[in-house]
């Protein structure tokens, strides 16, 4: 065997060993699903969450109660009129126990109207909660974007969320960028609901799916409780993909599921193209978990970038909200400055980052949230850390 062949074989052997070691080190991250601890079903209607439904004048209320399905409904009161909205139910049997998830669709609501509602079962009732439909004549609105949470058990996000809600009591909804929970276990869902308890029943909350809402495997899939907590994923034109679009005043939002493989991402690309082409909204805002432009390396999220970036550019998307990479970054391809790409998180975890020349503003010293004020001609983005200090501000002027 000549010297050249020995060198080639030696290099190949070293690379094979290195690849094997790397794969071994990543096996847990890719495939290991920790066993869910046992839990008891809720003895009263709880984990009540208000979210958007199909159409601007609809809302969905979801909740959990007991381990055996029963008749449940929402008692909805407005202007001294009371109606009963029947709920559908689904029993979830997981490693840790059983629970029943309910959802009731409130349709044909009236603008500029206050509503009271409570959850009813024959053997149990919730307290009354209030929410208001917006004024249709005032086209300006504000909302909060929060990236990854992934709180630990008895973590600090409940305190953070309380501070955010107190400082932003005028916002009309909250949008989360995925990874609400550390793992799809009941105890982590309990942490999330403990965090949003002050707002979930009265202010709509929407979320995209993150990889921590997924069951790991060669073909990972979203754990069923996520779509039961957020039951607006109804568009069968995109197959099993967790996608959703909704209008709010002058803006239209497009939620994607970036955790999927290439074939499902292709379906989402077609769905996004169709929805954007049909949109007449002044503002177009896309939200997904994995960033189009990564701050952890140029080779990351390639399928997401190759498939969605041309659609985002073609149809004039103004803002792309993303999570996953545990830092704050504002990026742009140029322009006015749309399309603007935002990465954010509100987790106790931080990662090392590799910044490209597309990064305009970067910070990795805290947890963050974004307040977005949407006007007729200007979208104002303000970024805050958990201490309430301003980290970044930028305006997008309508093109």
Whole-angstrom distance, CA of residue 251 vs CA of residue 266: 25
Peptide bond into 393 cis (omega under 30): no
Residue 135 tokens read as: 């004024």
Contact in structure between 196 and 151 (CB atoms under 8 Å) = no
Q: Cβ of 35: how many Cβ atoms within 10 Å?
A: 8
Residue 139 tokens read as: 């086209």
pLDDT at 24: 46
Contact in structure between 152 and 138 (CB atoms under 8 Å) = no
- The DSSP bridge partners found for residue 89 are 102
Peptide bond into 36 cis (omega under 30): no
Residue boundaries of the structural domains of the chain: 46-132, 141-397
Whole-angstrom distance, CA of residue 178 vs CA of residue 368: 14
- pTM equals 0.93
pLDDT at 217: 78
| Helix, strand, coil % in the chain, rounded to nearest 5 | 25, 35, 45
Contact in structure between 35 and 203 (CB atoms under 8 Å) = no
Per-residue pLDDT for the chain (399 aa), expressed as one digit of tens each? 577 666 666 666 665 655 555 444 544 455 577 899 999 999 999 999 999 999 999 999 999 999 999 999 999 999 889 999 999 999 999 999 999 999 999 999 999 999 999 999 998 999 999 999 999 889 999 999 999 999 999 999 999 999 999 999 999 999 999 999 999 999 999 999 999 998 999 999 999 999 999 998 777 889 999 999 999 997 666 678 999 999 999 999 999 999 999 999 999 999 999 999 999 999 999 999 999 999 998 889 999 999 999 999 999 999 999 999 999 999 998 766 679 999 999 999 888 898 888 899 999 999 999 999 999 899 999 999 999 999 999 999 987
pLDDT at 357: 85
* 29: helix, strand or coil: helix
For residue 200, which of 46, 372, 369 has the smallest C-alpha distance? Answer: 46
Query: Which are the contacts of 184, defined by CB distance < 8 A and separation ≥ 6?
Result: 36, 212, 213, 214, 215, 223, 225, 226
End-to-end CA distance of the chain: 67
User: Does the structural domain 141-397 have CATH classification 3.60.21.10?
Assistant: yes
Q: Which fold has domain 46-132?
A: Immunoglobulin-like (2.60.40)
Quickly tell me which residue has 């200090």 as its tokens: 389
Tell me the backbone φ, ψ of residue 157, rounded to 5 degrees.
Answer: -65, -35
């Amino acid at each position: 065997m000549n010297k050249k062949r020995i060198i080639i074989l030696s290099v190949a052997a070293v690379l094979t060993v290195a690849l094997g070691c790397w794969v071994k080190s990543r096996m847990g991250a890719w495939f290991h699903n920790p066993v869910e601890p046992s839990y008891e079903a809720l003895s009263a209607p709880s984990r009540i969450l208000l979210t958007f439904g199909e159409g601007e004048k609809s809302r969905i209320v979801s909740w959990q109660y007991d381990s055996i399905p029963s008749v449940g409904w929402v008692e909805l009161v407005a202007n001294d009129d009371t109606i009963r909205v029947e709920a559908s139910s689904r029993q979830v049997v997981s490693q840790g126990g059983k629970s029943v998830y309910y959802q009731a669709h409130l349709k044909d609501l009236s603008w500029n109207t206050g509503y009271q509602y409570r959850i009813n079962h024959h053997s149990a009732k919730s307290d009354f909660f209030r929410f208001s439909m917006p004024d249709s004549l005032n086209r300006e609105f504000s909302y909060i974007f929060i990236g990854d949470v992934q709180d630990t058990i008895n973590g600090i996000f409940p305190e953070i969320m309380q501070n955010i809600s107190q400082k932003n009591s005028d916002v009309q909804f909250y949008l989360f960028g995925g990874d609400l929970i550390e793992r799809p276990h009941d105890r982590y869902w309990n942490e999330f609901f403990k965090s949003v308890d002050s707002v979930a029943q009265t202010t709509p909350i929407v979320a995209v799916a993150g990889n921590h809402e997924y069951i790991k495997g060669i073909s990972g899939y979203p754990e069923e409780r996520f779509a039961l907590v957020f039951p607006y994923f109804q568009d069968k034109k995109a197959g099993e993909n967790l996608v959703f679009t909704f209008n709010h005043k002058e803006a239209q939002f497009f939620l994607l599921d970036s955790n999927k493989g290439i074939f499902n991402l292709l379906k989402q690309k077609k769905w996004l193209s169709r929805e954007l082409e049909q949109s007449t909204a002044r503002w177009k805002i896309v939200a997904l978990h994995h960033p189009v432009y990564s701050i952890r390396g140029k080779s990351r999220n390639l399928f997401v970038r190759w498939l969605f970036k041309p659609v985002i550019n073609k149809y004039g998307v103004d803002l792309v909200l993303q999570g996953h990479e545990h830092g704050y970054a504002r990026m742009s391809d140029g322009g006015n400055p749309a399309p603007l790409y935002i990465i954010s998180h509100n987790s106790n975890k931080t990662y090392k980052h590799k910044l490209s020349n597309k990064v305009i503003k970067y910070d990795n010293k805290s947890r963050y949230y974004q307040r977005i004020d949407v006007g007729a001609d200007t979208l104002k983005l303000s970024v805050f850390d958990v201490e309430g200090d301003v980290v970044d501000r930028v305006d997008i002027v309508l093109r």
